[in-house]
Structure 1
Amino acid sequence: MKFSTSILIAAVVAPSVSAFAPASSAGSSTVLKAADDCFGLPGAIAPFGYFDPLGLCKDRDLVGVKRFREAEIMHGRVAMMAVVGFLIAENTPTIAFGFEHPTIANNMIPEISLGVMFPFFLAINIAEALRANKGWVEPGGDSLFTLREGYYPGDIGFDPMGLKPTGAQDFADMQAKELSNGRLAMFAIAGMVGIELINGNPVLSDLPF
């Protein structure tokens, strides 16, 4: 398991390197294009470029492409938070939540009382409702699962630190970095969960230091 865990930790650290790699010209546009021109999507970066082996964008209209990108960005953001959450939760005393000693992250949610978990679930539901109101057309008729015309996938207007670039190229570069980190985090968190299901130990327990 030491070998598997080392690979996993490398996957978590790797985004810090790839995040500062320059995006290719394929990601230079901040406007999502129709499926016949998916090369214009930010995120089509080296070494794979436009990577769609299953043909998910083939013959898909703009609405479908935007919906896929929205799902990818949001899942990537959740995965990045989950990776950090796993590492912090397993290595930090959590007496406030009823744990006198760190336990594996896979077991934490079932062991937390409903009274503690309810505020978290409520906050998640409120955040999702605000996101849906910002980016999605009210369901009905042909508008089911449809993003608003002027909504850019992932741009929910939450930027308390003012990090969003104002230039088109800078925005595309930042989105390409976020996508790269999010994609890697999705693989990383899947590996973390899988390893803990196999050996029942915290992620970092097999490291030699």
Structure 2
Amino acid sequence: MKAALFLSTLLATASAFTAPMAAKPSTALSSSLDGAIGLTVETGRKCPPLGAKILEGTGPEALAWFENAELKHGRIAMVATIGFMVQKYGVHFPLYLGPSGSNVFHPTVTSGDWMLSSSSGVTFSDIAAAAPLDAVKMVPAGGWLQILFVAGWFECVAYQRQYNEGGRVPGDYGYDPLGFTKREGGLDSPQLKSLRVKEIKNGRIAMLAISGWVANEVIPGALPVWHP
């Protein structure tokens, strides 16, 4: 069961990387490819051969698509690594404000815990005590539908800003509550360019880390290095 879940996750992730292709090669892309912000000292400041081959015959919109995809996957992976460690180490934040005594939504539950699913009798305490992948499987179908709905809504908004409005820096979805992009130079300022590179690097590490940790959960011993 775990192996099937892991394989389906990999297939879903791979299908998300189907980039739009242009009909003819673009000289504009080849001239700007090695100047992409994600190409740092680790890559020799050049696009790796495999990446160049994938982007061969495409236009600048394909490069922007891949840059956005990498940033989004990296951000999700960074959140996932934190969540994995919190779940693995059993860290519980003192924010519980649930009812005391028996639970009116599910009379058989007398702990007074908040219910995650009243139909299945799963409480938030049950989720907190479970292993990371077991906790994922305990989320009811309604919960996953809510997650997919919010993710789909975000993708629609992101697509509108990134591709229909044009001229957007990859990763800029208009949400900036701290006002970093409103400072002098915006996302093209030296300070924010440095932070953008750091974000890409941390995202890449996080994607490798969470992949290794999940593989080790599915196949114990698959990751022969330290892991939570």
Match of residue 163, structure 1, among 180, 187, 199: 180
Residue-by-residue CA offset, 1:91-128 (whole Å, 9 max, x unaligned): 23596442435222122222122344444333323222
| Aligned mates of 2:74, 2:34 — CA distance in 1 | 20
Any idea what SS the aligned residue of 1:124 has?
helix
1:89 counterpart = 2:55: no
SS at the partner of 1:157?
coil
Kept after mapping to 2: 8 A contact 1:92/1:102: no
Q: Does 1:52 align with 2:52?
A: no
Of residues 125-134 and 150-159 in structure 1, the stretch that sits farther from structure 2 once superposed is 125-134
Match of 2:110 in 1: none
Q: Distance in 2 between matches of 1:59 and 1:68?
A: 14
Matches within 5 A, 1:140-159: 148-159=165-176
Structure 2 residue ranges without an equivalent (≥5): 1-27, 94-112, 117-122
Q: Please say which structure displays the higher CA radius of gyration.
A: 2
**Contact 2:38/2:200 (<8 A) preserved:** yes
Unaligned runs of 5+ in 1: 1-32, 138-147
**What is the alpha-carbon distance in structure 1 between the residues aligned to residue 227 and residue 169 of structure 2?**
42
Amino acid at match of 1:76: G
Match for residue 122 of structure 1?
149
> Which residue among 164, 184, 190 is the counterpart of 2:205?
184
Scaled by the length of structure 1, the TM-score of the pair is 0.65
The count of aligned residue pairs is 161
Q: Residue 107 of structure 1 corresponds to which residue in structure 2? A: 134
- Root-mean-square deviation (CA, aligned residues, Å) is 2.7
- What's the CA shift for 1:180? 0.4
TM superposition outliers: structure 1 runs of 4+ over 6 Å:
none
Distance 1:103 1:158, change over 3 A: same
Cα deviations across residues 9-32 of structure 1 (Å, max 9, x unaligned)? Answer: xxxxxxxxxxxxxxxxxxxxxxxx
When structure 1 is superposed on structure 2, of 180-189 and 86-95 the one drifting more is 86-95
**Does the 8 Å contact 1:35/1:60 carry over to 2?**
no
Deviation at 1:161, TM superposition (A): 2.0
Q: What percent of counterpart residues are identical?
A: 25
Matched to 2:30, the amino acid is: A
Cα distance change of structure 1 residues 109 and 37 upon mapping to structure 2, 3 Å threshold: same
2:215 paired residue among 185, 194, 207: 194
AA partner of residue 131 (structure 2): I
Give the residue type in structure 1 aligned to 2:213: M
Q: Is the 8 A contact 1:135 1:151 kept in 2?
A: yes
Q: Is the 8 A contact 2:34 2:46 kept in 1?
A: yes
> Is 2:25 aligned against 1:36?
no
Aligned equivalents of 1:57, 1:50: Cα separation in 2: 13
